[in-house]
Structure formats: structure tokens, C-alpha cells
Amino acid sequence: MSEHQEQSAARPDGDQATHQAPALPAATVFDALGAEYERAFAGSAAHHASLDRLLEHLAPGSRVLDVGSGTGVPTARRLAGAGHRVVGVDVSPVMTALAARQVPDAEFRCGDIRELPWADGEFDAVCVYFSLLQMSRGEQSGLLGRLARAVKPGGRLAMATVPVDVADVSAVFMGQPVVVSSFGEEEFASVVAGAGFAVEERHSVLFTPDHPAGAPEPHLFLHGRRI
């Protein structure tokens, strides 16, 4: 999943919007968006502040897994530029190819993060920026548990989501029909903790994407460590 998927078209009561086109697979959505996604979201000051926070905790040359690496900007670029060994995974071939060109010092793999095997303790940190929202709630919880096992005890977590209490809701993301799920802020923090991470910091902001269809949306950033 690319670095951001959201449900701005979902109604607050969780009902599905009417007259939606059939939802598209995540790879199709983000193949279509390509660099347009980066232009809309890479300038988020809160995202960059989250990366600053993560970088403060990483030892030199840390191995970092970037889940939903998108075009590689800003996450992989910032981490690789600081000398860390980044492995980015994204389901979109177009996004993965863009990332490889833009961040040649990082490694990028095109695939579904839910299906790729990782050794226990393989990484010093994991980033999960807005990359769960086209998964069901159960898939999100299960993946976070797998990611926790892939991080060394004491290793770092940096992640973000759109903290809205919705499940399998039809929406339109930058013109693309999708189905999204998420949790409210408190429940999401509990899910992260239940997966095996100690949540140490939370930060909520409103962000407006740099896109003609952009509207203010809540973003929740979490930082923690592997228990």
C-alpha cells in the first residue's frame, strides 16, 4: 500500500456513499496516481516531524522497513539520506519504479506486505505511514503483529493513520474508488499496543492535501518501541 490511503468521501455515520463505482485494488489505485500522490502529501510538516523523531532514536546504519513506501518521498529518502539501510515495500509497480529512481540508495520491493516473509528481529525499525487503510480491521491488526515480530526488541515504530471509526466503507481517494477501514484514535492506539509495541507518543493534526480535491483530514502519528 502506498504511503497514504484515506476515506475523505465517507460520511461520518459510516454509511457508504451512494453511486460509487466498484472499488479498485490498491495496486491499480496507486499505479494510476503515481507522482500525483507524492505532490499531494509529501509536504506534510507533521510527517517530516515524525521522521525527525524517528531519526533521533536510530543508531547509525539501522535497517528500516518502510511499509507502503510509495514513491520513496519523503520517508525512504529521508532515512536513506541519513545513512540508514531502507527496505521499502509497495504493492504498486508504478510507485516502486518511481521510488527506485528517486531513492537509489534504498532497496524497494514490489509486493503485498501481508504475503512477504520476514525473519524475527530482522529490522531495527519499521515505518507504517498511512499504508493500512485499504485493509480490513482484522488484516491491520494481524499485520501489525507480524511487523512487531520483524522488529528487534527495543526497536522503533513510526506510523500514521486517519483516525476515523469506519469499517469497509466505500470512498473516493483522489478520484479513485476504494474501500477503507480504520479505527478511532484510542482504539487504534490499543491495537498497536496489542500487537507488541509500547506507544510512547501520539500527535494529531489536520492536513489538507495539495490536490484540487483536497480537504482537511485528521492525521494521527504514533511513535513507540518493540516490547
**Residue 21 pLDDT:** 56
Report whether pLDDT(3) > 60.
no
DSSP state of 92: -
Q: What percent of the chain clears pLDDT 70, i.e. is strictly above it?
A: 88
Three cell numbers at 212? 484540487
Three cell numbers at 126? 519499521
Quick one: average pLDDT of 75-86?
A: 98
Report whether pLDDT(180) > 70.
yes
User: pTM for the whole thing?
Assistant: 0.88
Contact 158, 144 (CB under 8 A): no
Query: Rounded distance, CA 155 to CA 27, Å?
Result: 29
Closest Cα to residue 196, out of 166, 136, 153, 164? 153
